[in-house]
A = this chain, B = another copy of it.
Amino acid sequence: MKRNLLLSPGPTQVPPQICEVLSRPIIHHRTPQFQNHLKVATEGLKYVFQTKNDVYILASSGTGAMEASVCNLVSPGDKVITVEGGKFGERWTEICQAYGTQTKVIEVKWGKAVEAKQIKELLHAEKNIKAVFVTLVETSTGVTTDIESIGKIVKDTNAVLVVDAISGLGATDLQTDNWSVDVAIAGSQKGLMLPPGLAFISVSAKAFKLMEQAKSPRYYFDLRKAKEALAEVDTPFTPAIGLIIALNESLRLIKEAGLQNLFIHYARLAQGTRAAMKALGLSLLSDEPCISNVVTAVNVPNKIDGGKLVKTMRDTYGVTIVAGQGHLKSKIFRIAHMGCLDEYDIITGIVCLEKVLHKMGYSFTLGAGVAAAQKIFSA
């Protein structure tokens, strides 16, 4: 009888319509029946990615698509830029280094965003940068990067811009084509409201040229194979059939709601969450203008055990929020507001947070957070 509310930044809640599709008998993938699904899925993804580029569907989690970006673009010794302002920025560095690149790292304080001019300066200082790897929403800190400004800089160079949009695609704006993003990647278990197991990757013509030249070994993630197969409405290897068919239900729901309306919806949920946190006397890790609308990182107050807070909410009361990552592990907690969530879910999360903070002896006016969120949601 316990609630299972996911306010976590992946996996997010899967709507019942999608759960139902996941329970259907499987079909074979080398059939016109599945080809129809694949066609609808790849077209629908273009809508969510806001791109005319091909979007390839991989059977992997998001990190697989991150590796696909790296191994298809770079050769050993190539110079690349990564931005480390959190755990997922660090992952770009790790993958690039695994492939033997000269990785120029821009370090950013966790909770802050990289500035476009930092990338501009490094592109000028270093010659022959092959690719710039950035993160749309740094899940570990709740920070959104200004991709549009970075795109304006990178597009006039020989480098390609690669954006990890795993957290955020479908929930916060990413205008792949308008912002000159060459490679954008996403995962199924975030804004797309599916279980994890699918990753998506859009590739511009500029990026694909590099992919034809890159010398890193690759097979499963070889996007030359993916491109060739997609031209035949096929996949190079057995696709995650069930998840792709369910993806089409997700894409249908997203189109029905309208992408722009969803961005407004999630921004409102984020605004309500932030107002609630402040009303509880809690401070946020990141601030305007780089604060994210898909996940809010909140500083754990003094004398409160952040780990215990998260565990009690989840294991005793059935509301899943998550702790920090890396050096912020016990210092922050994170509440996500993407996926199949509405204002009642956010209110439920705040009610639970207040209850546990109250039991743990944190001093505040019970109900203050809920009231602050209600005020936003009733405006």
Contacts and interface: CB of A to CB of B under 8 A. Distances in A.
A237 B63 contact: yes
A214 B286 CA distance: 41
A53 interface: no
Contacts of A258: none
Interface string A1-28: 0001010101101100001101111111
B216 A217 contact: yes
Contacts of A314: 28, 31
A320 B243 CA distance: 20
28 contacts: A4-B25, A10-B238, A11-B29, A11-B241, A13-B25, A13-B26, A19-B23, A19-B24, A22-B22, A26-B195, A31-B315, A59-B59, A59-B61, A59-B197, A60-B60, A61-B238, A61-B240, A62-B238, A63-B220, A63-B237, A64-B237, A94-B219, A196-B238, A196-B240, A196-B242, A197-B242, A216-B217, A217-B217
Given A25-B14, A71-B217, A195 B241 contact: yes
Given A60-B64, A63-B237, A27 B10 contact: no
B20 A98 contact: no
A169 to B, nearest CB: 15
Contacts of A22: 22-23, 242
Contacts of A30: 322
Interface of A: 4, 6, 8, 10-11, 13-14, 19-20, 22-32, 59-64, 66-67, 70-71, 76, 94-95, 98-100, 187, 189, 195-197, 216-222, 237-243, 314-315, 320, 322
Given A28-B11, A189-B238, A98 B6 contact: no
Contact of A238 (B63, B216, B240, B242): B63
A81 to B, nearest CB: 18
A28 B67 contact: no
Contacts of A28: 6, 8, 11, 314, 320, 322
Contacts of A8: 28
Contacts of A239: 61, 196
Contacts of A76: 217
Given A100-B217, A195-B243, 20 more contacts: A4-B25, A6-B26, A10-B238, A11-B27, A11-B238, A19-B25, A22-B23, A22-B242, A28-B320, A31-B314, A31-B315, A63-B237, A64-B64, A64-B220, A95-B219, A98-B217, A195-B241, A196-B238, A197-B243, A217-B217
* A-side interface mostly: loop
A90 to B, nearest CB: 12
Contacts of A25: 4, 13-14, 19
Nearest 9 CB-CB pairings of A with B: A23-B23, A197-B240, A195-B242, A61-B238, A63-B237, A19-B23, A67-B220, A22-B22, A197-B197
